[in-house]
Chain A
């Protein structure tokens, strides 16, 4: 069975540019969450989407946005990139009729901003 897949795996961008990261959840999972993991820290919650609607948002600036598509895949967009946006971006999916269920994580997208 395919797990959560994220693309690309690695990305290098210049300050001021924008970036789009993609995530495909496990088949049947309707909920997708995005996290930012900076080196030496735990994942920081950015967004959760369920059935194409935002269900939760972390403490991130408006430069960060996301959406979920009818097939439950998701995109995370970051505008006006800063050096501090360099991190591993994780996507997790969960099946979801209850909110407190296990999250299945992808391998992440390593974003480097130069």
Chain B
């Protein structure tokens, strides 16, 4: 079955620390990849997306993600986190099977200490 794995359920960092959140998916074909973020009390919103082309994707608020096809991975990074990055982060995949099913990971809760 198609699935998305996020390796860390909870991450605690101090401000200015670097961030990397892992995401792996299980599907051998072409995929579209997303990272969504949910800030406390707010709805899910898109951070960045990858459809094709340059595997290094830049999103909002200084986030970036790298698609490594051979590793079925789409890890999220930020060089220096801020207290305002405290949120829950979800990796999501749409397998290019002609369907419309978006598969989400379980999420990673990030807490940034001021």
Contacts and interface: CB of A to CB of B under 8 A. Distances in A.
Interface string A28-59: 00000101000011111100101000011010
A90 B44 contact: yes
Report the interface size class on chain B: 20 to 34
Contact of A100 (B36, B43, B94, B104): B94
A108 interface: yes
Report the interface size class on chain A: 20 to 34
Interface stretch (B13-21, B45-53, B79-87): B45-53
B8 interface: no
B100 A55 contact: yes
B112 interface: no
A83 interface: no
A4, A56, A100: residue with the most chain B Cβ atoms closer than 10 Å = A100
Contact of B44 (A41, A44, A48, A105): A105
A33 B36 CA distance: 16
B99 A42 contact: no
A33 B104 contact: no
Interface string A1-28: 0011000000000000000000000000
A3 B45 CA distance: 11
19 contacts: A35-B102, A41-B107, A42-B6, A42-B90, A42-B107, A43-B102, A44-B104, A45-B104, A48-B100, A48-B101, A55-B100, A56-B101, A90-B44, A99-B100, A100-B51, A102-B46, A103-B102, A105-B36, A105-B43
The 6 A-B residue pairs with the shortest CB-CB distance, nearest first, are: A42-B104, A56-B100, A105-B44, A48-B100, A100-B32, A55-B100
Interface of A: 3-4, 33, 35, 40-45, 48, 50, 55-56, 58, 90, 92, 99-100, 102-108
